[in-house]
Each structure stands twice: as structure tokens, then as C-alpha cells.
Amino acid sequence: MASFPAPTVWLKHPAAIFTANNADAQNGVVIQGTTIIELVPSGQQPKIKVDQYIDCSPYIITPGLINTHHHFYQTLTRCVPGALNQPLFPWLKFLYQVWKNLTPEMLHSATQLAGLELMLSGATTVADHHYVFPKGLENGIDIQVNAIQALGCRATLTRGSMSLGESKGGLPPDSVIQTEDVILADSQRLIDSYHDTSDDAMIQIALAPCSPFSVSKELMEATARLAEKNEVKTHTHLAETEDENSFCLREYGMRPLDYLESCGWLNERSWLAHGIHFTSSEIERLGKAKVGIAHCPSSNMLLASGICPTVELERAGCNIGLAVDGSASNDCSNMIQEARQSLLQQRLRYGAEQITAQRVLSYATTGSAAVLGRKNIGQIQVGFQADFAFFSTNELRFSGVGDLIAALVTCGAHQVDKLMVAGKWLIEDQQHTQFIQSELMQQHQALANSLQAKVN
């Protein structure tokens, strides 16, 4: 049977468009299939023959936002009494006693709810860091792949790990850790099963020991070698708190970045969650190595961890991506609101002139794409994937606005009206095309109640 080319579709006359590359596309974008094929400058018509058009005059269009760090399972434990108002280490020790009771059904539900929450806030690509593997949850990443594929968004799912339990001086209970042989074998299996190296990949796998204080140096080193062999990214938490600096000095006789380098991680394959407590010389080393940073402003404020030195890191050569972090340390998985948090937090450090709406939106788009090693998402450009977020201007918060791109951040946009991934509409009229939100919430809440009831 003969195949016919996909129709060309003109996303016509948006109220405003943020391309993330300063290109003029004010009269819209033409797509065909999964791909952007033309940008239409202000005052012009498409040069390519258009089969269909969609009136986008009610919308501010951005590239699909890209979240670079999350813990989906934590949506089951938002605002849990006992963890409230705690710094990182006591917060972790309490919640590990809850998380050790996770089940496959809980992880599947949490992944879908967190993914949908991110999509409704403009994300077309999500990243998750799952590192808790109690008995029965050995195939946790397979469960997440299944859940994400049903949602239809892109994802980088990281095979997290913990090998040092309480009996060996670590923070987590021994029931959620795994042996290093098991971790490495499963990491290879997941790469072989799911990692897609193509430019339009929907699912990619990365390797992600939880942190310097939850795995052995041998596992950090072996993970780096495995990632290099398979050409996949590596990810971990680093320099989130001063407590971490103290721990590494006490246990390893060196600061976290020195330890990371000693394990073979100081290279462009790596991206780090948080990246707050670095010295100026450490920042230069990170930039020279092209290490990526997942900037998590809300989480860093909620846990009183500190403020990421984004400007210095970026100047040194690091890519900066935006991230909501886990819901238990943010309690919200909203990417467009996270951009606003970044703007407000970073202005406290760098002032209003340096930290603009365009800059923080770039963290959430081009910066995040670079952090995840994705070359054809994160901006509106010919040849890139047709991933778009559509924010309606028909809200009270936008009445009286002069600059709609600035308003998207400073006036506090909250939810997309539409979302497109690879040329497919996944959200229309603020609803996922395949999921009934109320049913997902009902199931998720029941599972969260069950999990929280098991607190020791």
C-alpha cells in the first residue's frame, strides 16, 4: 500500500512565542509529522504549502519544557507529618521508613500522576531519579517505562541505586538497598531493553547512584565505566547541603567534588542535582568538564539548603537545566511555576537585570535539553521535534499585560491549555486525551493513604 506524507500544519498567529533561540516565529510554526519544518516570521506567510492551520491567537507558545530531576514516587508522601520543617538528613531518615514500603502498584500510580502533573504544567520531556528498591520492586524502572509510555511524553529514566544501608553507616534502611552486582546487571539490562539513541527518542536510560553517602566508591567507579561503555549519561545528587560536605570530609577525607572526580565522574556525561555548595575553583573545574546542573529552586528553599550559583556555573561552561525535584521536597511538580521560583530566588543573588524571564525559560528548555544530552528538543527551530506547550492568555492574571513572555513567568502561569509531543496532541482543554484525571487522583490518594499509614 502506498504511503502518503503527513499533512503540513500551520500553528498560526500565536499571541506570543518563545523560541528559546531568538528566532522570529511570531506568525507561527509549520510542522509535518513529528518535526518543525518552517518558522513564519512576523508579517509573513508560510513559504511551504500548508494543508491545515490551527488558530493559536489565544496562546503563548513555548518549546515543551524539560524537567531534569524528580523522584516520582515521592508524590505519595507530600507534606507528611514527621518530615515537615526538617533539614535534608533528618527529613531523609524519617521518610526512608515510609518509602521502604513502596509497592509496584504505588510506583506505577505515582509515575503517572507525577508525569501528568508535569505535562499539565508544560513539560513534554521528564526525567526521574528512582533509587528505592525494596523487595518486590526490583523491576521498578520497567514499571516506570510502562507508565510513561501510556502518558505519551518523552522521558529520561535513571536507574538509581543505593548500596550502603544503615548497617554500613548509610542513611537508608537495609531493606531498600541492593548489592552492587545486582545493580550493575540490572543497569545493563535496562540499557539494552529501553535506551533509544535516536534523535527523536521517547525513552532514554541513565545511571544514577543516589548520592556519595548512599553507595560505595566501587559502585560509583563501576557505574562510570558502565556508562562510558554504553554511551549513556550519569546522574547523582551533589553539593546540596553543607552536611554533605562535612560527611564527605569525614568519610573520604575530601570534598564532594573531589570525591566525584576520584570516581571518574567529572565529565560531560554527568549531570548533578542541586549543585549549591561549590567553591569558585570547583565551579571552574565543573565548567571545564562540561558537567550539567539540575537547578532545583523550590526544593532548595523548602529544605533551606541554599541557592545554586547558576550564573557562575553557566559562565564557567556548565549547562543549567531546571528541575522540580521530588514532590516530598517541593510538594509541587509544576515546571512553569518552577521557572518563576528560579527567577525570584536567583534575583536575590544576582539582581533583576541578570535574571530575566527569558533566562529562566531558557533553563527550562535549551539548558535542560543540553543537560540531558538531547540535541533536537528544547527550542523552536527547523528540524527539531514538534514539542510545544500552549498557555492560554484568557486568564485574569494576564489582563493588562504588555510583554506576554515576561508575563508567562512573572504573572504566574500555572497550567497549559494544550500540549503537543512529537506532533501529537496529548493535552487539550487542560485534559489528557487518554486519562481521566479524577480517576488517577482517586487511585493515587488511596495508595498514598495506605503507604503513609505504615509509618513506624
Q: CATH no. for residue 418?
A: 2.30.40.10
Tens of pLDDT, residue by residue over 1-54, are: 557 789 999 999 999 999 999 999 999 999 999 999 999 999 999 999 999 999
| 30 in the same domain as 153 | no
Strands of the sheet with 35-39, listed across from one edge = 35-39, 28-32, 8-12, 52-55
The reply to whether 93 and 137 lie within a common domain is: yes
pLDDT at 88: 80
Q: Identify whether residues 47 and 136 lie together within a single domain.
A: no
What's the pLDDT at 36? 98
Examine the domain organization and report whether 51 and 76 are in the same domain.
no
Say whether both 31 and 145 belong to one domain: no
Shared-domain flag, residues 344 and 367: yes
Do residues 310 and 363 lie in contact, with contact meaning Cβ atoms separated by under 8 Å?
yes
Which residue blocks in 303-418 are alpha helix, DSSP H?
Answer: 310-316, 335-350, 357-362, 368-371, 404-410
| Structural domains in the chain (count) | 2
Residue 168 domain flag: yes
- The last residue of a domain, from among 324, 351, 371: 371
| Grid cell at residue 154 | 518523552
| Residue 448, in any domain of the structure | no
**DSSP per-residue letters across 406-448:** HHHHHTT----SEEEETTEEEEETTEESS--HHHHHHHHHHHH
Helices (H), 264-305: 280-289, 297-302
Domain presence at residue 444: no
| CA pair distance 303, 87, nearest whole angstrom | 5
Task: State the pLDDT at residue 2.
Answer: 59
59 and 75 part of one domain: no
81 belongs to a structural domain = yes
pLDDT in tens, 250-301: 888 999 999 999 999 999 999 999 999 999 999 999 999 999 999 999 999 9
Domain span including residue 389 = 8-63+379-432
Q: Which residues of the chain are modeled with pLDDT < 50?
A: none
Q: Describe the crossing of helices 180-194 and 140-151 by its angle, rounded to 10 degrees.
A: 30
Residues 23 and 49 in one domain: yes
Whether residue 237 sits in one domain with residue 339: yes
> In this structure, are 384 and 248 located in the same domain?
no
Choose one of 321, 343, 371: the last residue of a domain: 371
Q: Is residue 452 part of a domain?
A: no
Task: Note whether 16 and 115 are same-domain residues.
Answer: no
Let me know whether 43 and 97 are in one domain: no
pLDDT at site 89: 81
In a domain, 455, yes or no: no
Q: Which of 264, 263, 246 is nearest to 255 (CA)?
A: 246
Establish if 446 belongs to a structural domain.
Answer: no
Q: Is residue 134 part of a domain?
A: yes
Q: What is the pLDDT of residue 138?
A: 97
Give the CATH number for residue 214: 3.20.20.140
Query: Which H or E element spans position 91?
Result: helix 88-99
Q: Residue 13: CB partners within 8 Å, gap ≥ 6?
A: 27, 28, 55, 56, 57
Residues facing 12 on adjacent strands: 28, 55
